[in-house]
Structure formats: C-alpha cells, structure tokens
A and B are shown apart, each in its own frame.
Chain A
C-alpha cells in the first residue's frame, strides 16, 4: 500500500500542470468557465479540444496505434486531476469517449481510418442515439427500425433525449434489425450521417433554459450497410461493452474537487448576519459531509484504476463510481444554490451581474437544473442500483 507518486510521475505531473497553464490562456479560460451552460459551447470546446490534440492529449486512453498515449493508470489519474484543477473540462464525450472505443474495438479497418482521425481533431461531432420515448431504462425494447435493402438500411423511427444532436455531424444509433427473438438480440449498431435525407432534428425545451436536448427523426433515411459496426444483431453487446469505457472518468472527482474548492470560497464571501456562511454551523456541516464523501470516492476510483492497471477486471466497487460521483456533484450544486440565497431563483436574462446584484447565481442555477439529469442519463441511479444489487451483491 503506497499512494506516493514516483519521481517520473512527479515530473509528468509538472509537465501536465505546465501544459494546462500555457494552454488555458485567460481568454479561453473565460470561455470554458461554466461551458456546459453556454450557448457557445461548441466553438469554445472546438478551440480547446484542438489544443489538446496538438499536444497528442485529446484521447490519451485510446490504444497508441490510433493516437492514444501509453500511460500508466497513475498518469491517467494525474492527467485528469491536473485537468480538473486547471478548470479544464473533459472533451465532449460522444465522439472521443463513447463511439471511438466501439469503432476501434469492433470496427473495420476502413471505419477506423475514416472516423478516428476526424474524432481526434474534432472535425466530426457526434451524438448518441440510444433512447426512445418508449425505451429509456428499458433500452433493449427500442423500436427504431433499420430494414435491409441491398447494400443499404432504410431507417425509420425516432430517438429522444439526444444531447447536442443540433451540433452533431454524426449519430451512433442502436436500431432494430430483427424483431423475432429476445429483444436484446435484434439490435444493430449504426453510424448515421446527420445530413442524410430523411434525418431531422427537433429541439426539446428543458428546465435549465439551456438548449441541449433533441428528438432525432428518421424518415426512410438510407444508410450504407458499410456504416454498421460489427455484425448485424450484435449492437447490444457492443453498446454494453462501451459502458465500461465511460467508467474511467465517470466519477468526475477532479471536477468535483475544483467545484468544492470554489464553493468554499463563495461561502466564505457570503455574509449572513455579520458572519461568513463558512462559520455557519449548519452550512459547515453540510460542506464537511460532501467533502468527506468526495475523499472516499477519490480513493474508490484509485482502487478501481489500480486493479485495472494490474490487468484485472474492475472490482465490484467500480459500479459505485457513477452513482456516488453523481450524488456528490448534485450535492455541491445544491449547496452552491443555497449560498446564492434569494438570487438562486432570479433569472438574470440580459442584465449584467452587477445590475442583478450577484455574479455566480445565474450559472449556479443553470448548472443546478442541468445537473438534475446526471442521475437520470447514462443509466439512472435506480438502474445503477439494480445492476449493483443483482450483479455485484447477487440479490
């Protein structure tokens, strides 16, 4: 048992820290602050992701042959920690983190050559077309249909809750190619160009006032069979294996650490009845509680990484990463709202922060409402607990 870094790891840490210090100039840092709530997300992220890519750090987790880094688990950990500390977001996950591993694991040589470089350089933006209105938690019951006609599939149906479809060039979809057997068996994994005739996107208005959700409709959209990943009917297997890759950074420990540090400063500056909110016993207790949970999660994540580094399957504790990470994020968001007090419920609209009388409330509020969804998407808390109860605890 030893969690100290080696000299090489410490040198790497310095390099990463320096990189983010140099890369995130004042201007870009400003654009990335609260970027999830910004209407200019794509522009800011494009700029940022290209700088990562120039350094070769857009996709350090990929196999080296496709552009990844031959890093140890400690190095991945250091990289994410320094990134979080610097206030730099993770890249938008749909391309680099979600579809790419499926492509390099199950795709053909042509598919890899066609898609992976464009993902690395953020030339193509991707979105995830899994959920349907009738197939949410019960994803396997999806109905969006792809019917084979020669060397094309004709796709009909709708996807819902598609994040960033409005900005995407491509969508990776689970579609039904067969209705005859077990519902998990007739599903295929298709890559669809968003400009394909018959593909349309309609926005969904959300409670956070940020535009990120859509419905994507397919009306006789013709998709080359070459865009299918792997075998017909094996899509469910590929999609499930993809979920493992999301685990690497799913707990968002680095982000939460930074958000917690910021929260503490906001609370320090907020005065209630002549004393700082940090000196308020009730608030201080709540803050300590989430900090302690986060300390535990940080080491749970390290344990998962360490066992993965030894080539083992991630231990049972890995099933907790998303669940606990999400709970902590939501608690921090909630505390930030409480610090903002009355202003947590004011809409800044076109006013400046000084006109409104508060500078962080607007973002705190957008991220709070936005953050309610993190226990819903990517496998809801309930689904995660069902999976853990069944597969980990054997219930």
Chain B
C-alpha cells in the first residue's frame, strides 16, 4: 500500500503547477476570465500541446489512457490556481460520455479533435425544475423517420457558450423523473433551433441556458434508454474531479489565510498569535486533510472498481461541501475587511468552493444519498 504518485503522474503535476505559476497570478486570472467565454484559447492550445487534453482517452483515439489519479492530479492543480479553462465540461463530461457510450465512428470523429484542442463540448443535463435530481428531465426526444428531434430547455450548462457540440440528456420515453427512458443525443450547437443565453458563474466561468426547438440530433450516444446509466458513470468520475479541484482550492486558500495570520499585525502582534484564531486555523487544516483522505479513498476505490466506491464517493462530495464552507467562511473572516475585497483572491476561492458544492448535488443532498445507501445496505 502507498499513496505515492508514479513518476509520470509527478511529471504531469509539475507541469500543471508550472503552468499555473506562469499564467495564473491573480491579475492574470482576472484578465483571462474577462475574455469571451471566460477562458483563453491560447491556454487551451497549450493544454493540447502538453498532452493534458488526451489524459482520459484511449490510445486508439489519440489518448493517454489515464485513470482517475491522473485526472485528480491535474484538477487539484487547476483548483489551486483557479484555472478557468473548461477541462471539466469539455474533456471529462463531454469527452467522458463519448468515451463511455459513443460508437467507434463518433469517437474517431470527435475525440481526436478534443485531444488536439480543436473542439469544445458541453453536457446539457440540468433543467429549471430538476435541482439535483439528474433523472428529472422534461426535455423530449421524438423519433422522426431515422432522426431524433429534441424539444426543451437545459440550464446552467457549463461551457455552454463556447461549446461547438452538445450532449443532451432527453426523454425518449417515460415520465418526468423516470430513470428509464432517458437517452443521450449529440447535437451541433449551431444547428437550427438551438438558442443559447450565456452568463457567468460567480467565479467567472461561463454557463448557458440552451433551448432546443425541433432540433435534429446528429446521433444517439449509447443505446436508447441508456442515458441515465451513462450519465451516472461519467458524473461519478466528474465528482472526483470536482473534489480534486476543490481540494486544490482549499489548500491554496488555507495557505493564504495562514500567511495572513503570520503577517497581519494588530495590537502590536501578529493576529496569528491569538488563540481564538489559531484553533480555528487548525480546524481548517483538519477540514482540508479530511477532504484529501476521502478523495484518496474514493479515487482508490474507483480505480480498483471496489464495492465501497459509491459510499466513499458520496462521503467525499459531502465533505467537499462541508469543508469548503468552513474554509471559505473562515478565510474571509480571518482576512477581516481585506477578505471582502477583490484585491485578494480570497473571494474567488470561496466562490470556487461554493460552486464545487453545488455541482452534481450539494452537501445536504449527498448526505441524504449517503444515509439512504448505508441503510439500504443494512
């Protein structure tokens, strides 16, 4: 047993850390998120050249055949630097779903484009009413000869503004919240009937609401009615990635807060000399370590296909919410007035952590899923 990275993984980690170091100082980040769609196409090209966009894909499609640990290493560094490029939506969600369910033809056509940095994608699954229930889908797919025609609306689609291709979770049969009857459709973002309204998330990344008005899909991904199963698998992996991103953000915010406690002086001494703050800083450190332990636990379980994987995953996502709230709240509080300003990145870290909490279900939601799972298992 060990928790060491392989030599290759260490190299990836170093190279992402170097990128963040060179390109993601806070003012550089602000300039990047101010760009159209909230990220830099130049950075994206660098990602492609450095091979990061190929990580999860099979070698046959130009990929690196990496596993959850490789993704974790990248995402943790991205979180540390508050990187805004759409690695999660394009590579892990859109790419992940293609990898899990698309035909060879579709994979051959699209995955190499992702790897080359030429294709932006998004996964459109949430709806106005769905909240955290992924199967709560009203968007309809109806057969029209050999084609499928989509009608409905998807909301808070990450990277929905920049995406050239979309994967849409739609109902090909069944009632509003049935897990059966959901299918995944590949849709061209520029197809007739697709209309997108973009906006920013609190940390500057972009999302969109997208309506589909009699839109003809390009392909069904996976079998008909397999949409929910595919989504669950891919979302489980994405949860790990979100948790790793959040862990990186927690580590960085904790380091900044600690540094502030050591440098800010009031009453003639460092504020870090006050026990009232010391103990809480220790709690924040513990919250971060708890998140790391659950992340390692879930990654190892997923990698090994362990039966404990689900329980670990839900525990992890709950902890991301809980620890993020603690570290974020205290991060602002301990910075005093400075924590309220855009001069420091404190607020941006807090927002990143709050977004991580909501993605794929917040702490309350995961806690309930966890309880249900454990009581079912008896």
Contact = CB atoms under 8 A, between A and B. Distances in A.
Given A346-B201, A372-B340, A376-B337, A356 B365 contact: no
B138 to A, nearest CB: 13
A338 B364 contact: yes
B354 A344 contact: yes
Contact of B129 (A137, A271, A365, A381): A271
Nearest to A377: B337
A355 interface: yes
B94 interface: no
A153 interface: no
B131 interface: yes
A338 B362 contact: yes
Contact of B347 (A207, A281, A357): A207
A272 B199 contact: no
Contacts of A381: 333
Interface in A312-361: 334, 337-338, 341-349, 351, 355-358
A138 interface: yes
Given A138-B266, A207-B351, 4 more contacts: A205-B341, A348-B199, A380-B333, A382-B277
B315 to A, nearest CB: 15
A106 B17 CA distance: 60
A25 to B, nearest CB: 32
A347 B200 contact: yes
Contact of A341 (B132, B136, B199, B347): B132
Given A280-B364, A385-B276, A207 B333 contact: no
Contacts of B337: 131, 136, 160-161, 213, 373, 376-377
B131 A270 contact: yes
A136 B126 CA distance: 45
Contacts of B128: 357-358
Given A270-B131, A348-B199, A137 B266 contact: yes
B368 A281 contact: yes
Interface string A365-381: 10001001101110011
B105 to A, nearest CB: 34
B279 to A, nearest CB: 12
B273 interface: no
Nearest to B271: A137
A17 B271 CA distance: 47
Interface residues of A, number: 53
Given A345-B201, A345-B354, A375-B333, A280 B341 contact: no
B28 interface: no
Contacts of B339: 372, 376
Interface string B353-378: 01100100010110110000000000
B25 to A, nearest CB: 17
B199 A271 contact: no
Contacts of B265: 134
A205 B126 CA distance: 33
B343 interface: yes
A211 to B, nearest CB: 11
B342 interface: yes
B84 interface: no
A176 B197 CA distance: 54
- Report, nearest first, the 8 A-B pairs whose CB atoms are least far apart: A207-B347, A205-B342, A138-B266, A282-B364, A273-B133, A272-B131, A347-B200, A357-B128
A266 interface: no
28 contacts: A136-B337, A206-B340, A207-B348, A207-B351, A213-B341, A271-B129, A272-B133, A272-B365, A273-B131, A280-B364, A282-B364, A334-B325, A341-B131, A342-B131, A342-B156, A344-B354, A344-B358, A345-B355, A345-B358, A347-B199, A349-B200, A356-B199, A358-B128, A372-B332, A376-B337, A376-B339, A380-B333, A380-B336
B263 interface: no
Given A204-B341, A272-B365, A357-B209, A346 B129 contact: no
B169 interface: no
Contacts of A349: 199-200
Interface string B138-167: 000000000000000001100000000000
B267 A137 contact: yes
Contacts of B133: 272-273
Contacts of B354: 337, 344-345
Interface string A267-308: 000111110000011110010000000000000000000000
Contacts of A272: 131-133, 365
Given A136-B266, A382-B274, A345 B202 contact: yes
A237 interface: no
A386 interface: yes
B246 to A, nearest CB: 13
A385 B201 CA distance: 36
A161 B336 CA distance: 11
A286 B363 CA distance: 13
Nearest to A340: B358
A358 B156 CA distance: 11
A131 B367 CA distance: 42
B221 to A, nearest CB: 23
Q: Pick the most buried of A204, A286, A345, A349: most chain B CB atoms within 10 A of its CB.
A: A345
Nearest to B129: A271
Nearest to A343: B156
Nearest to A204: B341
Given A273-B177, A347-B202, A355 B197 contact: yes
Given A137-B336, A273-B133, A345-B201, A207 B350 contact: yes
B207 interface: yes
A169 to B, nearest CB: 24
A274 to B, nearest CB: 6
B329 interface: yes
B362 A341 contact: yes
B201 to A, nearest CB: 5
Interface in B175-230: 177, 197, 199-203, 207, 209
B341 A206 contact: yes
A376 B336 contact: yes
A375 to B, nearest CB: 6
